[in-house]
A = this chain, B = another copy of it.
Amino acid sequence: MSDTTLTASVPLRWVGPLHITGNVGDIETEVPLATYESPLWPSVGRGAKISRLVGPGIVATLVDERMTRSVLVRAEDAQTAYMAALEVDARLDELREIVRTCGRFVELIGFHHEITAHLLYLRFDFTTGDASGHNMATLAADALLAHILKTIPGISYGSISGNYCTDKKATAVNGILGRGKNVITELTIPRDIVRDNLHTTAAAVAELNVHKNLIGTLLAGGIRSANAHYANMLLGIYLATGQDAANIIEGSQGVTVAEDRDGDLYFSCTLPNLILGTVGNGKGLDFVEENLTRLGCREEREPGENARRLAVITAATVLCGELSLLAAQTNPGELMQAHVRLERDNKTAKIGE
């Protein structure tokens, strides 16, 4: 391995500003998107503009946050695995104490288990302050696992990760049990703005959403997902803010809902698995520090507040891009025309999917 650290310099632009309200705060900010797909910038920009035109802007509701790690232990048999699971459950207070010794910001807040044959999967939930929490969770899980193996008979080490966490894999468990921030964004757009700024109608967007995102993804064999391209916006903002962008995999699993409300468009993106943070890995780089600062995510606040701010900004950015692409796809040829025009302008050319 070379000792020289080079860089991959991904083009980045600031887009917006977006207007966001909701239970994390009233926010008006531009957002940085790093991407090789430059049409993403005007696409998100179009949504951002609408967020500024509409009363409360994008309303973001953060409904959960946790980081998880599942360890795997092997028992002599199912009965022993079952006894061990009951024992872990009975000792949660004790385990909570052990986790407290692992760091100032990490706390054990939940536990779930599942047994298959003689295998016991123990999934622990933690809060991790402003960090995305991979490392804190692994460190804590390591301590918990060592303690459990030492004090509960009949079981042995299986793995520090049993893939039931689940990290960087698209599964159902994260959405059902929670992992990362769970943020719902909503925007209700008056009929005339839908017509003038999105060149479409609420009915057309609502119908497309059912046919494409809900039924199309279902037929493709999707798992807990119904959207056009959350992944694009997530990648852009994750790279720009020093996140582990491989977490766009679970991040990409979310649900777009669009409703025709008497001609106005109710548009919502639910992102149950937003893994991100404002401290930790990747955050020490100068441009990351600058970007986070400009986003207002490096302020002196209660632990977790900066990360929650980043979460709702990210989720709102996703809504902007999703709205823009869906609106474009209601019109035959629009996507391709945008593509050709942007290609000419930018010498690069992929929009949306």
Name A's B-contacting residues (CB within 8 A).
1-2, 4-16, 22-23, 30, 32, 34, 36-37, 41-42, 45, 59, 61, 63, 70, 72, 74, 77-79, 82, 85, 112, 114-119, 121, 134-135, 138-139, 142, 145-146, 149, 157-177, 182, 184, 186, 208, 210-229, 231-232, 234-235, 239-240, 242-246, 248-249, 252-253, 255, 257, 266, 268, 270, 272, 281-282, 284-285, 287-288, 291, 329-330, 332-333, 335-336, 339, 347-350, 352-353
Query: Pick the contact of A348 from B9, B165, B282 — CB < 8 Å?
Result: B282
Query: Pick the contact of A224 from B41, B78, B218 — CB < 8 Å?
Result: B218
Asked whether A78 and B184 contact (CB < 8 A) given A7-B10, A219-B224, the answer is yes
Q: A8-B239, A8-B287, A10-B239 are in contact. List 8 more A-B contacts (CB 8 A).
A: A6-B287, A7-B10, A36-B242, A61-B79, A117-B186, A158-B208, A160-B335, A167-B229
Residue of B nearest to A221 (CB): B172
Copies in the complex: 4
Q: State the CA gap A70–B349 with chains docked (Å).
A: 19
Query: Pick the contact of A42 from B1, B221, B228 — CB < 8 Å?
Result: B1
| Majority secondary structure of chain A interface residues (helix, strand, loop or mixed) | mixed
Q: Is A59 a contact of B36 with CB atoms below 8 Å?
A: no
Q: State the CA gap A138–B14 with chains docked (Å).
A: 27
Q: Is B162 a contact of A172 with CB atoms below 8 Å?
A: no
Q: Is B59 a contact of A77 with CB atoms below 8 Å?
A: yes
Contacts of A23 in B (CB 8 A): 79, 82
- Shortest CB–CB separation between residue A85 and chain B, in angstroms? 8
Q: State the CA gap A9–B282 with chains docked (Å).
A: 11
Q: Is B212 a contact of A163 with CB atoms below 8 Å?
A: yes
Q: Is A168 a contact of B8 with CB atoms below 8 Å?
A: no
Query: Pick the contact of A221 from B173, B244, B246 — CB < 8 Å?
Result: B173
Contacts of A186 in B (CB 8 A): 77-78, 117-118
Q: State the CA gap A173–B85 with chains docked (Å).
A: 20
Asked whether A222 and B169 contact (CB < 8 A) given A1-B13, A10-B239, A248-B248, the answer is yes
Contacts of A227 in B (CB 8 A): 169
Q: Is B170 a contact of A173 with CB atoms below 8 Å?
A: no
Q: Is A252 a contact of B255 with CB atoms below 8 Å?
A: no
